Amino acid sequence: MNEFVVLGHRGYRAKFAENTIEAFKKAREYGADGIEYDSRLTKDGTLVVLHDDTINNRKLQELTYEELKQIRFKNRQTIPTVEEVISNLDDQALLNLEIKEVEAAVPSYKITKRMNAVDRTLFSSFKIDALRKVRSLDKSAKVGLLIEYDTLKYVEELNMEINLYSLNLWINALKENIELSKELMHKWKEKGFKIFLWTVNDPEDLHTFKGLYDGIITDEVEKIVEERNKIAKEKL
């Protein structure tokens, strides 16, 4: 049993076109326990996997799904739907679905449920209303707050309201004041939160915050998986 899970950030992003089926499959192939991916809605309400709200200088909300499928990445793949991603991965793959807009929250949950993947999905968002919507649909779904400085002071309050599963923390912000960050992470862990760190591409960070996280979201799947294996061997 691994001490922490490794999720490919938008797939195996360091080596493959992000948020494509190829990148997601390669993340699993190279040892990640699952993936982190993003959900947004097209003009005609299709739930697709795209990080930004624009593509090729056009707003996603102005494009239908059929128009979107005309756009190909360098690997010749197209932007997938959330449903396609889930169906193309094995049923053991862990999923962290970042809901990029409030309007995508309900479809994100409903499609994940229809695909029988709710139990292995963490629904995360910077947008608190998106998490509220997921929680209103399912009292036991795992919801994670992507932390910004202005939400830090509301963590306890939000937890009381929506029962957060995890806090998803930006590694660069944590490294600005390592000792304070460790103190906060320790406190949050004691309160029962799972801690996910993003985007961790330097294996050294695994040691800096050792024992204070449950999940690592990375572009560099092989590097982080390799370091996790080393850490596991040292414990033997």
CB-based contact 45:106 (threshold 8 Å): no
Q: What residues does 95 pair with on adjacent strands?
A: 35, 121
Instruction: Identify whether 51 is a catalytic site residue.
Output: yes
CA dist 2 and 154 (Å) reads 31
Catalytic pick from 4, 5, 8, 9? 9
Choosing from 43, 51, 132, 223, which is the catalytic residue? Answer: 51
> Which residues on neighbouring strands pair with residue 84, listed in sequence order?
none
Helices (H) and strands (E) in the chain, counts: 11, 11
* 9 catalytically annotated: yes
Is residue 23 a contact partner of residue 8, using CB atoms and an 8 Å limit? yes
| DSSP codes joined into one string, 34-72 | EEEEEEEE-TT--EE--SSSEETTEEGGG--HHHHTT--
- Contact residues for 1 (Cβ-Cβ < 8 A; gap 6+): none
76 CA to centre of own chain: 24
CA distance 213 to 233: 19
- Annotated catalytic residues are 9, 51
